[in-house]
Each structure stands twice: as structure tokens, then as C-alpha cells.
Structure 1
Amino acid sequence: MQKIAVLKIKLGRGFLLLLLLLTLFLLALPKVLPERELVLLPDNNANRFLYDDQEIGGGNRVEWLDQSNNHWRCTRDIDKSSHFCGYNLALSDDFTRGIDFSAYQKIRYEVDFNTSSSQITLFLRNYNPVYSNPDDGNSAQYIHFFLKPQDLSSVITIDFNEFRLAEWWLSGRGLAREDRSPQFNNITLLGINLGSDLSPGNHDVVIKRIALRGPWVSAETWYLALLLVWLVGAIGVLSIKMIYHHRQASMARHKYSTLHERHRELHDRAQELTDLSQRDALSGLFNRHGLSLALAPVLKSGKGYAVVVLDIDHFKRINDRRGHLEGDQILVQVAQLTQNEVRADDIVARWGGEEFVIVLPGAGTEEAYKLAERIRYSVFNARFFQDKKLIVSVSLGISHAQPGADNTFEPVFNRADQALYKAKELGRNCTVIDGEPQR
């Protein structure tokens, strides 16, 4: 009997090890599985059309060079102003019925751009009868993403969470809160606009392929399913052990304790899986947890870094007078303006409320000051609402951690925070470096 019991224990441990290995494999599976894909182009039956500003007296003229291969050209007349010029792909003959993009995660463009345009717009149109009118093409949501010259490559992949609603489309519509965010459940049209300030001459575009991509099952759903299987399995095993406890009291107590410990480990693991988010839901920037993870390699390197703490001036007054919705829009736009100015390896996080933190690995105070001033000017000169006059300013504080010194983040942050408060005392809308007089 004792040998049988030992054999059962060994078999049970082996089975548990197998389950753990299988679980590890299943945890990694979503990352290695090929993504599912929906190809929008090439499609011989696709409804494609071009548009330009000739009818309003503009200087842009668009033409097909090879329609079968989606090769088109915008030509700018030097004697006339440039307004718009671009390409549309209708996803349905019925403007009210499109394709549900929400089951996918991103859109992938394979495009050859031969243009000097300073800003290319990739846009989608989502029809929703709540706010859309079949007789008004502009009533569908205008969801866009701006490409800068440095973003251009032969393959461009954009997550749907990077798209934003156009301010001109939102303005004056009085939409409910749930309709003031991009929707992707009924995309009827997508397009490319070369911008409103083309240089004179030819601007060629060849669209080779457009496809939607996304996981077959979302990581959250997959992990939750695994967690439920483990919990159900744990409960089942626990029940069996409880029955055995009545037969073998001393052995059962030991096994029950082991199962209880494993159940606690599973609970801790479940807690880890549910804490996957490292991003601030409103701005899309790192939250404090995400910042701490991103900072770890910077602190470990010992190369030194600069910290910029940014605070929106009079934000509470803006919230009180204009409401939290417009306050949230200001937070989002300030976050976007900040990200537009930082380097690729800089770390940007929302610290809380209207306060943001920027970490510049390997940078000194001079480089941090130049960045802070660019951000300050960008925010101060930004237009926040199409139909309302609102000037927003920010105050910034800077500190620096020397290479090889004790680079613990908290004291460096506190010095930058104190510099920020000094900027507030000096009248706001300025940048102060820790330990230096105001410039």
C-alpha cells in the first residue's frame, strides 16, 4: 500500500509538471501563432476613386497612371493653392454598410510614396446611424492617423488605438460620450490624402497591399480561459483530496496543505495576469507602473539621465469651467504634442492628474532644456478646440542624474518636481532647471 501511495504521488507530481509545462506553452502560444489577416487590396473588384481640389479652384490635379496596380499621381500647379489630393477605397457599394474592423488589431499598408508632402493622412470612415446620415458622406466618423516624412517606409503598420477622431468632425455635433471616440465596427471607406500644402510638381503613390491583422483570440481572453481551466482543475483536485482525507487523515492533511499552497500560487499568478496594463487609458502614455518597468534598464546602465516634470497650468480652473470632457481632450492633446517632440528612446509617462514625466536616457540638462522649451512652445501655440479660443500653457522642471552616481529615480524626480514648483512661483509658462537661475 505504501509503495502504491508513493507511486501515486510520483505520478501526480509528474502530471502536475506536465500541466505546468503545457500551461507555459499555452501562455506563449498567442505570441507565436500567425496572425489572421483580411486583405483589402489587391482586389480586382475594389471600388477605387481619386479626388482633388480642381472644383474649388485648387492647384492639385490627380490621375491614374496604372489603375490596375493602384498607381496614381497628384500634380501641383505652382500658380494655385494646394488644398487636398488623394485616394479612396470604398469597402461596399452601400455607404451605410461596411466591414467590421473591431475584430482586428491593426492595419498594414504596403505603399511606395514618392512625395515631399510634410504630412500624409491615412483615414477611415465609420458609419453609425446614431450620428450618420446616408445622404451626407461627411456624417460618418472621420478617423485619421498622420504620417510624417520620417514615418515613411515600404511597409507601415498602425494599431487601431493610434487612430484619432478629427477635431473638425467632432466640433459642434453634440455627440454622446460613447460616440466621441473612434469606432471601427462599420468601416465603409478608407483613404490616403497627401496633405494641404504639396510642393509644385509630381507626387506619385503606388498602393501594393492593404490588409487587416489581428490575433485569432485576444491575449486577455486566452489568459482568462487558461486561468479558469486552472481554477476548475484546482477545485476538482481539491475535492478529490478532501474525499481521500476521510480515508487517510494524516496523509490527506499534508496533501490538502500542498493543494492550498498551490491554490495560493495560482491566485497570485492570476493577479499578475490581470495586471497586464502598463498604459494610462486616457493618454496612451506609460502609467507609473509602466514607467518603473521602462526605467529599470536606464537605472541599471548607470549612464545618467535627465528628468523633465511637466504640469498643465491652471488645469483645475479649466476643468471647473469647461468640464472634465474638454479637460480630458486637453490632456490627450498635450500628451500627443509631448510625444511629437521627444526622441525615440525617451520615456514619457502620465504621473497623475495633469502632471507628466519625461526621462531622457544619456541626456544632460542642456538637451533636456531644449526639449522642454520645444514642448512648452508647442503647447502654447497649439489650437485645442476648433470653435473655441483657449490658450493652454505648461510649466516644466528639470533635474539631472550624473553618470556613475547613485541614479535612484526618486531623488532625481523630487528635484525636478521642486524646479517645477519654482516655475509655478515665477509665473508659470516657463522652464526651470534644478540648481540654476531661470533662463
Structure 2
Amino acid sequence: MTLIVTLGASYLPKKQFSLAPSDDIFQALFDDRSYGGVSETEWLNAADRRWVCSMRESNEYPSCGYSLSFNRPNGEGIDFSRYQGFVFKVNYSGDAERIRIFLRNHKPDYAADIEPGESKFMSLFIRRQDLNKELFIDFNEFNVADWWLTEFNVPRPYTAPDFDNVVAFGFDMVTLGNHQITIEKLHLVGDLMQREQVYLGIILLWMALLMTEAAIWYARLILKSRSSDEKLSQLRNDYDVLHEEKVEFERKSTTDFLTRTQNRTGIHQQLNFILENSNDRSCIGILIFDIDHFKRINDRRGHDTGDRVLKEMADVLRSNTRDTDLLGRWGGEEFILVCPNINESNLKELGEKIRATVSRYPFEHNAPITVTISIGMTLFKHLENFDPAFKRADDALYHAKNSGRNCCVFKANK
């Protein structure tokens, strides 16, 4: 039954929300003339969402594009996080090799001074050969723009992409020249039921069935005065099965699906156990790994190659760590390694060993690609919690990135 429900959930029809065509969503064209540029955009047919752009060089940053605005009172937008991505079809002719798709998500809780029109900017690029046909884009493909993070000095916990209050969605050009675009279709797409809801439903269904079965058996035992040993044993077996499934679902919830390493939830759970059982935390080391120029790999080789590089990177890291070490994917192209019972010298030696191993490793055997990593390292203080130690390692990683990449930087716990 569990297998049938799990597989059946994947065959349920997808839920959809139409952004275009739509009579309820405001659409507009924009260009750089508003701040002194000379580019021009013009509707050919607004009802069909067909427009042209002449993007010209000037003393100002050139821009032109199309946007949908969902901004409502108090900065309220549309919750895209309830969907996996979107299906779109854009007919294009012109001089561009690729166009940019962008989203803006407004978060008043950490950006109270940021206007909705300047909210978190996330984007991805679509190649010209992927246009003029229907295409599905997963929201996981979007990245937060570095210029936006720098301009608004956003705290680290809020630097990842989020989609719970999207106030704007659009397309813009990144190549000078003439462009003609028709937005034929733009629909948000998602599962009717999230995987977590399916798992929870299975658990609750099993519990309801087992409780019902136990009640029926108990009534029969009273009425017929039969021995209960065999049926109680069956109940115990059923509960054991339920417990095993619960353990399996918990394992999935703490494991990164792509790399089979711990995800953030799993890292925090195991790290809490390590810290609580350590009398002296100064012998616990943290290493943060970041794949250098990973976005370039995705842009040049495609996201399938990027996924394979992440899997191979996890295998390389795993093969160069101890059984007692805690390895996980922190997010995107970042991994974290927590090493109990290690000193500063051995921690530096381990980081350099892993860095050198990665730089020599033959990623993508059929079409070899050179991959390097930057590493930030530190040791916990005596009774220090995770956050300040992580911040120190993250600062070290930042210095490694600014020192030319493909290097290790250790920051002392002074």
C-alpha cells in the first residue's frame, strides 16, 4: 500500500497557475530611457504580449525588457514556493544568444528598508536554442544576484533564493541589438501534494489502520475469550514495520537527494549530538568547501553536468574523510565537514590534502573538466556554539575566494 500511494502521488495531475495570458496581472515594458539611456521598447500587440526592443549602447547601462507585477498593498506578492517551477513558451527573433529571466521576492522581515521594486533579485539565463518551444524551468535553477547582496548588505541566513512572496517576474535582454519577442505561455506548475505531505499521510493512514485493527482485535478477544498472544505479537510486528518506515522517512528528510550526504537538517542534528557530548570543543574543526566558478560550469556545460560534478565532488570528499567526520551539502555548491578530535596542524593538513586531491581528480571522464575548490577552516573555542564558529570558517572561505581561489585559509579561534 505504501508503495502504491507513493508511486500514485507522482501520477496526480499537476496544479497550474497562469501568469500569461492573464487579465488580472499587470504587464509592462521597460528600457533605459528612464535614466538617460537610448534603448527603446515598444508594443507590437499588447494583447498578444508581442513587443520589440532596440538595445543601444550609451553612457548609461543599457537595458530593455518585459515584466509582470504582482505587488499588492504592504508588499504582498504571490507565493511561488507552492510550485516546482514554470512552463513557458517564448518566440524570439533577433541578435541575442541568450536572454535573462528574473524574479524579485520581497521579505519585509529582513529587508524593512527595501522597497518592493528593489526586492531580492534572482535570475537565470536561457539560451537562444531553447526558445521558440515549450520549456519547463525549475525554481532551483535560479541564483541570487551578487550585486544585490552587496548593495543591500544582506545577512548570510537570507542570501539563498526564496520564492514565498514574489512581486515581479520578467524577461530582459543582455545583448545589444534588435529583438522581437512574443510571450505565448507562462504557467506556474507544481504537484498537487508535496512529498512530505504524502509521507505524513502514509504514516497517519498506517497509524489509523493499525489502531482500528487493534481495537477490532481487542473487542473480539473480549467477546470470544480467545488467547491474545498471537494477535498481540502481530500488532507488535505491524508497529515494528511502521517504526522502520518512520526511520526511513526520517533518513530521507536529513539526506541531500543529489549527493547522498547530509543536508542542513541532518548536519544540525548530528552536530548537536557531537557538541553535547564533547567536554572540550576546541578539538572540533570545521571546513567549508566552495566549488570555484561553479556557475560557469552550469552555463557552459549545462545543469546536468553541474549535478554530476556535485555528485563526484561528494564522493571525493567522502573518500578523504574519517568515519567519525560529519560531511554534508550546505547548499548550492558549498559543502561542510565537521571533524571531531583534531588539532590545528592536522586540520590544515587535511584541508590541503582534500584541495590537492580535488584539483587532480578527473571530473567528467568523457569530456574532462578541471574543478577546484576554495576552503575556509577553523576550530571551535572551548565551549563555543556552532554559529560563531561557522561564521569564522565562512570568513576564512571569503578570504580564500579573494586570494585567487583553489586555496585553503585557516582562521584561528582567538
What is the TM-score normalised by the length of structure 1? 0.60
CA distance in 1, matches of 2:374, 2:93: 29
CA distance in 2, matches of 1:63, 1:119: 20
Query: How many Å apart are 1:207 and its aligned residue?
Result: 0.5
Percent pairwise identity: 24
CA distance in 2, matches of 1:174, 1:218: 34
Provide closer, same or farther for how the CA distance between residues 259 and 217 of structure 1 changes in structure 2, counting only shifts above 3 A. same
Query: How many Å apart are 1:66 and its aligned residue?
Result: 1.4
In the TM superposition, what are the counterparts of 1:69-218 in structure 2 within 5 Å? 69-77=48-56, 83-92=62-71, 94=73, 96-132=75-111, 136=115, 138-149=117-128, 151-195=130-174, 198-200=175-177, 202-218=178-194
Question: Which residue does 1:390 correspond to in 2?
Answer: 402
Q: Which stretch has the larger CA shift, 76-85 or 108-117?
A: 76-85
Query: How many Å apart are 1:258 and its aligned residue?
Result: 2.8
Provide closer, same or farther for how the CA distance between residues 239 and 43 of structure 1 changes in structure 2, counting only shifts above 3 A. closer
The answer to whether the Cα contact below 8 Å between 1:71 and 1:206 also exists between their aligned partners in 2 is yes
Query: How many Å apart are 1:226 and its aligned residue?
Result: 1.6
Is the counterpart of residue 224 in structure 1 residue 200 in structure 2?
yes
Query: How many Å apart are 1:388 and its aligned residue?
Result: 11
CA RMSD of aligned residues (A): 4.1
In the TM superposition, what are the counterparts of 1:19-418 in structure 2 within 5 Å? 20=1, 23-77=2-56, 83-92=62-71, 94=73, 96-132=75-111, 136=115, 138-149=117-128, 151-195=130-174, 198-200=175-177, 202-241=178-217, 252-276=228-252, 280=256, 285-288=258-261, 331=290, 334-342=293-301, 344=304, 346=308, 348-349=310-311, 350=314, 351=317, 352=327, 353=336, 363=365, 367-368=367-368, 371-372=369-370, 375-376=371-372, 390-394=402-406
Provide closer, same or farther for how the CA distance between residues 285 and 146 of structure 1 changes in structure 2, counting only shifts above 3 A. farther
CA distance in 2, matches of 1:135, 1:255: 64
Equivalent position amino acid for 1:390 in 2: N
CA distance in 1, matches of 2:401, 2:246: 48
Query: How many Å apart are 1:176 and its aligned residue?
Result: 4.1
Q: List runs of 5+ in structure 1 lacking aligned partners.
A: 1-19, 291-323, 380-384, 396-423, 425-439
Provide closer, same or farther for how the CA distance between residues 237 and 258 of structure 1 changes in structure 2, counting only shifts above 3 A. same
Secondary structure, counterpart of 2:152 in structure 1: coil
Question: Which residue does 2:340 correspond to in 1?
Answer: none
Equivalent position amino acid for 2:406 in 1: V
Query: How many Å apart are 1:191 and its aligned residue?
Result: 1.0
Query: How many Å apart are 1:70 and its aligned residue?
Result: 0.6
Q: From the CA coordinates, give the structure whose radius of gyration is larger.
A: 1
CA distance in 1, matches of 2:239, 2:210: 7
Equivalent position amino acid for 1:232 in 2: A
Provide closer, same or farther for how the CA distance between residues 238 and 333 of structure 1 changes in structure 2, counting only shifts above 3 A. farther
CA distance in 2, matches of 1:133, 1:267: 45
CA distance in 2, matches of 1:278, 1:389: 29
The answer to whether the Cα contact below 8 Å between 1:65 and 1:71 also exists between their aligned partners in 2 is yes
Query: How many Å apart are 1:52 and its aligned residue?
Result: 1.5
The answer to whether the Cα contact below 8 Å between 1:95 and 1:134 also exists between their aligned partners in 2 is no
Query: How many Å apart are 1:160 and its aligned residue?
Result: 2.3
Query: How many Å apart are 1:31 and its aligned residue?
Result: 0.9
Cα shift readout 1:371-407 (whole Å, capped 9, x = no counterpart): 11xx45999xxxxx99998134238xxxxxxxxxxxx
The answer to whether the Cα contact below 8 Å between 1:337 and 1:378 also exists between their aligned partners in 2 is no
Provide closer, same or farther for how the CA distance between residues 333 and 393 of structure 1 changes in structure 2, counting only shifts above 3 A. closer
Equivalent position amino acid for 1:37 in 2: Q
Provide closer, same or farther for how the CA distance between residues 119 and 388 of structure 1 changes in structure 2, counting only shifts above 3 A. farther
Query: How many Å apart are 1:109 and its aligned residue?
Result: 1.8
The answer to whether the Cα contact below 8 Å between 2:89 and 2:131 also exists between their aligned partners in 1 is no
Q: Which stretch has the larger CA shift, 148-157 or 205-214?
A: 148-157
Query: How many Å apart are 1:62 and its aligned residue?
Result: 1.4
The answer to whether the Cα contact below 8 Å between 1:89 and 1:191 also exists between their aligned partners in 2 is yes
Query: How many Å apart are 1:34 and its aligned residue?
Result: 0.8
Provide closer, same or farther for how the CA distance between residues 237 and 389 of structure 1 changes in structure 2, counting only shifts above 3 A. closer
Q: List runs of 5+ in structure 2 lacking aligned partners.
A: 264-285, 318-326, 328-335, 338-353, 376-396, 409-414
What is the TM-score normalised by the length of structure 2? 0.64
Provide closer, same or farther for how the CA distance between residues 163 and 76 of structure 1 changes in structure 2, counting only shifts above 3 A. closer
Provide closer, same or farther for how the CA distance between residues 172 and 92 of structure 1 changes in structure 2, counting only shifts above 3 A. closer
Cα shift readout 1:234-274 (whole Å, capped 9, x = no counterpart): 23423544565678788532233233223222322333334
Provide closer, same or farther for how the CA distance between residues 136 and 227 of structure 1 changes in structure 2, counting only shifts above 3 A. closer
Cα shift readout 1:65-93 (whole Å, capped 9, x = no counterpart): 11111111112347888622111111246
Provide closer, same or farther for how the CA distance between residues 184 and 288 of structure 1 changes in structure 2, counting only shifts above 3 A. closer
